[in-house]
């Protein structure tokens, strides 16, 4: 399709777009139950639109925006049990995990065939990172309850291990690996310890405030070197906004890239991308100030209330069950008989439910994001009961 010689009116373009995008799913419909993203907070949207021209790929031109990023990273670092934490916003958890994997590899140039130990539940971004960086992933198996087999994890650590990864909010079920036990394994070693809390990072800090008991997962575990957490998930920030949070500033100084030709001057950074949005940083700084601890806590409270509601309803349906008791606002549905969930997922999609299918673990994932209302869950439970009966699971 060739570019138009003469442009169209703004009104006409909007009409065309409304028509072209009409079949896109909308969070407000309630049918999106498998996504870890949601509608960005309206205030974050407003602030982002005002400052979207900021480019932190050249921070020397936007020094005050760069300072806001430092402040925001420091504040998030404290939320994660640390002090003096450094890092930056990224395009998302995948880039943050790639950065962490590169750090693990490049800190140990003495290892000719670097390996990183991860749980089988680790996000696909670690497979991508290993492929790009020439790292061998050694994957620790899970137990029948989907928790990490910590003994198998330990057995995979050897002289080629440059890094280990623990998950704080697994992609499939929102479970938290035994971060303290992994930390003890790497005590007095030169193995880099990264925690992937892309989803859990903006859920877990608020759960103890609501009376939930959760395992230690963050910089409070002294061996943890870095954490991934995504403001564009439960932080309700605009997309794209992930984050890499690092305990030691020396890492940036030793392993950072330099770009000497920038208009704003040279600087050290760990990013994979060049041009980097500053608007997402400004919007999340503003959102944290606007919501405060109580605002985020109230959002988590509502999500957890809906999670418990859905859990109770699933337990009433013969033929399906919870794959595990939910620790946060993620739950998994599997079959009581052990039969594949593929047909269940297929039929639910015919009822317009957009879910997450994990064939490897034989479960369907539901993420109770802020856009999910109890009325949406009531409709889902009704359809789930119908489908379970129709395909003979009960």
**Which residues face 227 on adjacent strands?**
195, 245
Do 285 and 306 belong to one domain?
A: no
**Residue given tokens 């439960």 in the structure block:** 234
Do 191 and 277 belong to one domain?
A: yes
Domain boundary among 261, 289, 317: 289
**Which residues face 193 on adjacent strands?**
164
Task: Work out the angle at residue 276's Cα, subtended by the Cα atoms of residues 61 and 10, and round it to the nearest 5 degrees.
Answer: 95
Domain boundary among 249, 273, 289: 289
Per-residue pLDDT tens over the stretch 158-184: 999 999 999 999 999 999 999 999 999
Q: Can you give the CATH number for the domain in which 333 is found?
A: 3.90.1150.10
Which helix (H) or strand (E) is 98 found in, with range? helix 93-106
Q: Is residue 213 part of a domain?
A: yes
Do 355 and 281 belong to one domain?
A: no
Do 279 and 300 belong to one domain?
A: no
Do 198 and 279 belong to one domain?
A: yes
**Nearest to residue 372, comparing CAs of 318, 290, 309, 283?**
309
Q: The whole model's pTM is what?
A: 0.96
pLDDT band at 125; cut points 50, 70, 90: very high
How far, in whole angstroms, is CA 53 from its chain's centroid? Answer: 25
Please count the other Cβ atoms lying within 10 Å of the Cβ belonging to residue 185: 17
Do 109 and 169 belong to one domain?
A: yes
Please count the other Cβ atoms lying within 10 Å of the Cβ belonging to residue 389: 13
Domain boundary among 289, 324, 350: 289
pLDDT for res 282: 98
193 burial (CB, 10 Å; 0-12 / 13-18 / 19+) is: buried
Do 140 and 176 belong to one domain?
A: yes
Q: Is residue 18 part of a domain?
A: no
Residues 6+ apart with CB under 8 A from 325: 311
pLDDT band at 386; cut points 50, 70, 90: very high
Per-residue pLDDT tens over the stretch 275-310: 999 999 999 999 999 999 999 999 999 999 999 999
Q: Is residue 15 part of a domain?
A: no
275 burial (CB, 10 Å; 0-12 / 13-18 / 19+) is: exposed
Task: Provide the 3-class DSSP secondary structure of residue 70.
Answer: helix
How far apart (Å, rounded) are the C-alpha atoms in residues 231 and 258? 26
Q: Is residue 2 part of a domain?
A: no
Q: Is residue 3 part of a domain?
A: no
pLDDT for res 45: 98
pLDDT for res 394: 83
Average pLDDT taken over every residue of the chain: 97
Do 221 and 88 belong to one domain?
A: yes
**Mean pLDDT, residues 375-380 taken together:** 98
Residue 273 has pLDDT above 90, yes or no: yes
Do 259 and 382 belong to one domain?
A: no
**Mean pLDDT, residues 65-74 taken together:** 98
Residue 1 has pLDDT above 90, yes or no: no
Q: Is residue 351 part of a domain?
A: yes
**Mean pLDDT, residues 25-37 taken together:** 96
Do 300 and 231 belong to one domain?
A: no
Q: Is residue 211 part of a domain?
A: yes
Q: Can you give the CATH number for the domain in which 122 is found?
A: 3.40.640.10
Per-residue pLDDT tens over the stretch 193-237: 999 999 999 999 999 999 999 999 999 999 999 999 999 999 999
Q: Is residue 153 part of a domain?
A: yes
222 burial (CB, 10 Å; 0-12 / 13-18 / 19+) is: exposed
How far apart (Å, rounded) are the C-alpha atoms in residues 285 and 76? 10
Do 234 and 260 belong to one domain?
A: yes
- As given in the structure block, the two tokens for residue 322 are 């919870």
Cβ atoms of residues 223 and 314 within 8 Å? no
Q: What percent of the chain has pLDDT over 90?
A: 98
How far apart (Å, rounded) are the C-alpha atoms in residues 378 and 49? 35
Do 374 and 247 belong to one domain?
A: no
Task: Provide the 3-class DSSP secondary structure of residue 234.
Answer: coil
**Mean pLDDT, residues 257-261 taken together:** 91
Q: What is the number of structural domains in the chain?
A: 2
Per-residue pLDDT tens over the stretch 318-341: 999 999 999 999 999 999 999 999
Please give the C-alpha separations between residue 266 and each of 10, 67, 259, in angstroms, as whole numbers. 40, 16, 5
Domain encompassing residue 370? 24-40+293-390
């Amino acid at each position: 399709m060739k570019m138009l010689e003469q442009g169209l009116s703004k009104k006409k373009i909007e009409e065309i777009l409304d028509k072209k995008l009409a079949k896109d799913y909308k969070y407000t419909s309630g049918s999106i139950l498998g996504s870890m993203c949601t509608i960005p907070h309206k205030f974050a949207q407003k602030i982002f639109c005002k400052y979207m021209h900021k480019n932190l790929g050249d921070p020397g031109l936007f020094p005050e925006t760069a300072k806001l990023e430092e402040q925001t990273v420091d504040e998030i670092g404290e939320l994660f049990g640390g002090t003096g934490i450094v890092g930056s916003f990224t395009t998302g958890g995948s880039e943050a995990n790639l950065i962490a994997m590169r750090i693990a590899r490049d800190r140990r140039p003495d290892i000719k065939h670097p390996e990183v130990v991860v749980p089988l539940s680790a996000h696909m971004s670690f497979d991508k990172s290993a492929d790009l960086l020439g790292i061998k992933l050694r994957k620790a198996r899970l137990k029948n309850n989907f928790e990490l087999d910590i003994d198998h994890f330990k057995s995979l650590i050897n002289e080629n291990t440059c890094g280990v990864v623990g998950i704080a909010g697994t992609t499939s079920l929102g479970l938290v690996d035994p971060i303290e036990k992994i930390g003890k394994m790497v005590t007095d070693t030169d193995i880099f310890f990264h925690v992937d809390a892309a989803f859990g990072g903006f859920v877990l800090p608020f759960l103890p405030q609501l009376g939930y008991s959760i395992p230690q997962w963050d910089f409070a575990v002294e061996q943890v070197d870095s954490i991934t957490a995504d403001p564009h998930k439960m932080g309700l920030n605009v997309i794209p906004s992930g984050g890499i949070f690092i305990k030691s500033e020396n890492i940036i100084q030793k392993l950072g890239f330099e770009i000497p030709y920038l208009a704003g001057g040279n600087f050290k950074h760990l990013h994979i991308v060049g041009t980097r949005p500053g608007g997402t940083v400004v919007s999340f700084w503003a959102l944290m100030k606007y919501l405060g601890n109580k605002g985020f806590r109230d959002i988590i409270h509502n999500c957890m209330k809906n999670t418990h509601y859905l859990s109770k309803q699933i337990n009433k349906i013969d033929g399906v069950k919870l794959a595990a008791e939910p620790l946060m606002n993620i739950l998994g549905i599997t079959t009581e008989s052990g039969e594949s969930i593929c047909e269940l997922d297929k039929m639910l999609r015919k009822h317009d439910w957009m879910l997450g299918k994990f064939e490897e673990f034989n479960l369907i994932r539901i993420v109770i994001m802020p856009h999910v209302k109890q009325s949406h869950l009531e409709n889902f439970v009704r359809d789930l009961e119908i489908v379970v009966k129709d395909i003979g699971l009960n």
